[in-house]
Amino acid sequence: MRKLAALFFLAVVAAIVVFLGATQWLPQRQAVLPEAGATINVPRGASVNRVVSELARQGIAAEWQLQVVSRTRALLGEASPIRAGQYLFAPPKTIAEIFDALESGAAIQLPFTVVEGTTQRALFEQLKKATQEQRMFRSDSVTPPEAWSRALQADVANLEGFLFPDTYLVAPESSANLLLGAMHRRMKQELATAWEQRAPDTPLRTPYEALILASIIEKETGKEADRPLVGSVFINRLRIGMRLQTDPTVIYGLGEKFDGNLRKIDLQTDTPYNSYTRDGLPPTPIAFPGKASLRAAVNPPKSDFLYFVARGDGSSEFSRNLAEHNRAVAKYQLGR
């Protein structure tokens, strides 16, 4: 009887030792990771056993150790479902930290930058290139711009202008629609904020008109300091019923026909986007504007400028009347 009691006691002690090892020692054991780190791909729907096998295959830890830690976490209610993604584990990392990352979805995130003034057609090409060269997005999720609005269930048919340019972090092989959705939500927020700050006497009637004008301002100058005055020129023209006469709208209307050289015949050929032949704003935005252009559209500084011309260094020369403007053109464009 005493022998049985002793054996039972030893079994209990052994069980306690194993339990403590499983809950205390093994989880804190350092994973074996190369200096450059180890990359683990977790497909959608992958089981814990599959992920454990891949971790063991890469030598991060023995499979039995990973299994013990995984099952102990589940038993203690400390585990969450492992999330799909691509993970980079750099040393030092414990086995517990490996599972923490896999369960929290702390996957690799790559920066994807959309510059101000990008058009949706240019963004489509950028998405395709990132997919082909970096596998940044799933190829089946990179669709033409005509499909974006329906995919995002947006309340506008055309997303031109309705995506905010910025740097976004995306997981490799994620859906491009996740990025587009984030860009669309951000632009709606930025546009709403800008519209709340509009000048009380603005001739712009709706936030959409503000977005259209902001996109024109964005394409007219790359110099942020000049955008407020560029905005004032266009606002002044809208107030007096003067045509905007801005080249970027004509270029946008030409689409793929534009070869980089804007000709006189292009300025004379009527299209919905030709601001030389039509009054007011074009029917849609022509690019994705940033914050500075949104502000410049809704609340530019007061001025009596009606013209501006590029100086050739990225800045603009502003004029109050046609005579001043012609002199500026002769100086900066014709070199007289």
Give the pLDDT means over successive 10-residue stretches in the chain (336 positions): 51 46 72 79 85 90 88 82 80 87 80 95 96 89 94 90 94 88 95 97 97 97 90 97 96 89 91 96 97 97 93 87 91 72
Q: Which residues contact 8 (CB under 8 A, 6 or more apart)?
A: none
What would the two tokens of residue 231 be?
């905005």
Chain segment 189-227, per-residue pLDDT in tens: 999 999 999 999 999 999 999 999 999 999 998 788 999
pLDDT value, residue 312: 80
Using left for φ > 0, alpha for ψ between -120 and 50, and beta otherwise, residue 147 falls in: alpha
Q: For residue range 43-101, what is the model confidence (pLDDT) as tens digits?
A: 878 888 998 899 999 898 898 888 888 888 888 887 778 888 778 787 888 988 888 88
Domains annotated on the chain, with CATH:
23-104 (3.30.1490), 110-191 (no CATH), 199-332 (no CATH)
The beta-strand segments (E) located in the chain are 38-42, 85-89, 110-113, 167-170, 307-310, 316-319
46-73: b (≥16 Cβ within 10 Å) or e:
eebeebbebbbebebbeeebbbbbbebb
Q: How many CA atoms lie within 13 A of 280 on its CB side?
A: 9
